[in-house]
């Protein structure tokens, strides 16, 4: 019988969808399209106004008032406030979330988004009797500073990316045998880019020989990406820039309308991130967990030039303690200077950073999680 897997996510940023799509692909590759059907449900979209506007509101607030987001993260992570906000979110959207559960019956439900996990679980538990309740799994997609929202001891199992995320789970009432440290799931495409760097650069129409810097700021193109690109463009060391604006059309337009000194290749939301990452030498990025983990798979040295207050702080630590890159927040000139130093020495710094980056991520995580979901689906 075909197994139905429902992923609960939201397009707030690009990381939640990336995780769901990564596991989906692993399920299809492992068990075949005939054996599994998958639905991705944007849970915020099921809720009432204003929560249903969260995918638009999230990049807006992070861009315009990051301090407010950070404050919200801090306050929301206080135990009683977290508890209350989850219940209020459920009660305020009860009918809609229960309808979501009815519309998406499943053999396994997998949440890949922190804040929607508990309200969704409450809805499924209200709709289905204990005998009919599908296993409810959580795949934590923040690397280390994992907010409380992720953890609910009523879940059947929780897959966490790091020891820090595991420890947070224990602190928040999860049982040790209820969690497995797998690493963050990365799409199998990242492990399967056949073309060489040169072939890819030729195919993209880039210079084949210039040191190449990829700049990206999550799926939504957040933070000071433009200013950082301008600062890097001002250095005299020969290089080319590949700047990905994601879903931020204004940013893309602004980048396209700028006169650059070095070759600069501007893109909107790209579907071929594995190829883009394989074709470059260095990554300058916001501290998004998915991007960092993908860059680790591709062995890319990275400069973290921005981080969303609160939830991305631990991602920075993850990169720094592994010596896979540096964090330079909101200082485009220093990012450019650091890059110039990396490009100007005899290549040893970059080589060392590359080696360290390769140890950052577990390419098997996606297979382990897909396997576990399959086991639950067949119980
Ligand atoms: N991404 C993509 N195309 C783009 C920009 C980003 O596929 O043009 C993907 C990127 O590879 C990663 C995700 O979007 O998988 C971004 O997730 P991350 O956790 O780094 O940041 P978020 O957007 O969630 O803040």
- For each of the chain's 379 residues, which pLDDT tens digit applies? 899 999 999 999 999 999 999 999 999 999 999 999 999 999 999 999 999 999 999 999 988 999 999 999 999 999 999 999 999 999 999 999 999 999 999 999 999 999 999 999 999 999 999 999 999 999 999 999 999 999 999 999 999 999 999 999 999 999 999 999 999 999 999 999 999 999 999 999 999 999 999 999 999 999 999 999 999 999 999 999 999 999 999 999 999 999 999 999 999 999 999 999 999 999 999 999 999 999 999 999 999 999 998 889 999 999 999 999 999 998 999 999 999 999 998 889 999 999 999 999 999 999 999 999 999 999 8
Q: CA-CA distance, 353 to 322, in Å (whole number)?
A: 9
Determine the 3-state secondary structure of 372 from DSSP.
helix
| Residue 272 CA, ligand 1 centroid: distance in Å | 11
| Residue 147 CA, ligand 1 centroid: distance in Å | 20
Helices (H) and strands (E) in the chain, counts: 17, 12
299 and 224 share a domain? yes
- Domain, as residue range, for 17: 3-186+363-377
262 and 340 share a domain? yes
289 and 141 share a domain? no
90 and 169 share a domain? yes
Q: Name residues whose C-beta falls within 8 Å of residue 88's C-beta, 6 or more positions apart in sequence.
A: none
Ligand 1 pocket residue status of 282, Cβ below 6 Å: no
205 and 266 share a domain? yes
Ligand 1 pocket residue status of 31, Cβ below 6 Å: no
Instruction: From 15, 141, 289, give the residue whose CB has the most ligand 1 atoms within 8 Å, as the site to mutate.
Output: 15
Q: Which of 262, 270, 267, 268 is nearest to 230 (CA)?
A: 262
Instruction: From 11, 143, 217, 291, give the residue whose CB has the most ligand 1 atoms within 8 Å, as the site to mutate.
Output: 291
Instruction: From 278, 288, 365, give the residue whose CB has the most ligand 1 atoms within 8 Å, as the site to mutate.
Output: 288
Domain count, the chain: 2
Ligand 1 pocket residue status of 218, Cβ below 6 Å: yes
Q: Which atom belonging to ligand 1 lies closest to the Cα atom of 216? A: 5
63 and 207 share a domain? no
Q: Does the pTM of the predicted model rise above 0.85?
A: yes
206 and 170 share a domain? no
User: Residue 310 has what pLDDT?
Assistant: 87
Distances in whole angstroms, Cα of residue 9 to Cα of each of 41, 124, 232, 369: 6, 15, 35, 16
324 and 274 share a domain? yes
Ligand 1 pocket residue status of 290, Cβ below 6 Å: yes
238: domain CATH number is 3.40.50.2000
Q: Name residues whose C-beta falls within 8 Å of residue 341's C-beta, 6 or more positions apart in sequence.
A: 349
| Residue 84 CA, ligand 1 centroid: distance in Å | 30
200 and 334 share a domain? yes
| Residue 291 CA, ligand 1 centroid: distance in Å | 6
Ligand 1 pocket residue status of 14, Cβ below 6 Å: yes
User: Residue 63 has what pLDDT?
Assistant: 87
20 and 154 share a domain? yes
204 and 317 share a domain? yes
| Residue 269 CA, ligand 1 centroid: distance in Å | 9
Residue nearest to atom 17 of ligand 1 (CA): 15
Ligand 1 pocket residue status of 18, Cβ below 6 Å: yes
Q: Name residues whose C-beta falls within 8 Å of residue 296's C-beta, 6 or more positions apart in sequence.
A: 324, 357, 358, 359, 360, 361
| Residue 14 CA, ligand 1 centroid: distance in Å | 4
Q: Is the peptide bond before 50 cis (omega within 30 degrees of 0)?
A: yes
| Residue 132 CA, ligand 1 centroid: distance in Å | 35
Ligand 1 pocket residue status of 185, Cβ below 6 Å: no
206 and 122 share a domain? no
């Amino acid at each position: 019988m075909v197994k139905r897997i429902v992923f609960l996510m939201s397009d707030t940023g690009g990381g939640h969808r990336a995780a769901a799509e990564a596991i989906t692909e692993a399920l299809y590759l492992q068990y075949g399209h005939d054996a599994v059907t998958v639905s991705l449900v944007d849970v915020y979209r099921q809720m009432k106004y204003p929560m249903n506007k969260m995918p638009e509101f999230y990049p807006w607030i992070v861009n315009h008032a990051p301090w407010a987001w950070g404050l919200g993260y801090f306050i929301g992570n206080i135990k009683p406030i977290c508890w209350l906000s989850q219940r209020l979110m459920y009660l305020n959207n009860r009918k809609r979330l229960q309808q979501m559960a009815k519309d998406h019956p499943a053999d396994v439900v997998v949440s890949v988004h922190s804040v929607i996990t508990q309200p969704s679980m409450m809805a499924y538990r209200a709709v289905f009797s204990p005998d009919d309740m599908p296993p409810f799994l959580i795949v934590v997609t923040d690397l280390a500073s994992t907010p409380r929202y992720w953890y609910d001891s009523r879940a059947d199992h929780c897959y966490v990316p790091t020891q820090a995320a595991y420890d947070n789970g224990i602190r928040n009432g999860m049982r040790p045998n209820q969690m497995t440290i797998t690493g963050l799931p990365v799409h199998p495409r990242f492990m399967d880019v056949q073309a060489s760097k040169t072939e890819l650069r030729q195919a993209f129409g880039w210079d084949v020989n210039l040191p190449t810097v990829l700049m990206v700021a999550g799926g939504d193109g957040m933070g000071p990406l433009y200013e950082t690109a301008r600062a890097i463009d001002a250095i005299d060391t020969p290089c080319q820039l590949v700047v990905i604006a994601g879903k931020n059309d204004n940013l893309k337009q602004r980048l396209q309308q700028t006169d650059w000194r070095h070759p600069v290749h501007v893109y909107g939301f790209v579907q071929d991130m594995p190829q883009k990452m394989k074709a470059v030498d260095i990554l300058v990025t916001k501290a998004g967990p998915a991007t960092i983990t993908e860059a680790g798979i591709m062995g890319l040295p990275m400069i973290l030039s921005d981080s969303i207050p609160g939830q991305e702080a631990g991602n920075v630590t993850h990169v720094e303690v592994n010596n896979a890159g540096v964090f330079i927040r909101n200082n485009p000139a220093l990012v450019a200077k650091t890059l110039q130093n990396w490009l100007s020495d005899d290549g040893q710094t970059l080589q060392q950073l590359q080696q360290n980056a390769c140890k950052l991520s577990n390419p098997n995580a996606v297979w382990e999680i897909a396997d576990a979901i399959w086991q639950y689906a067949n119980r």
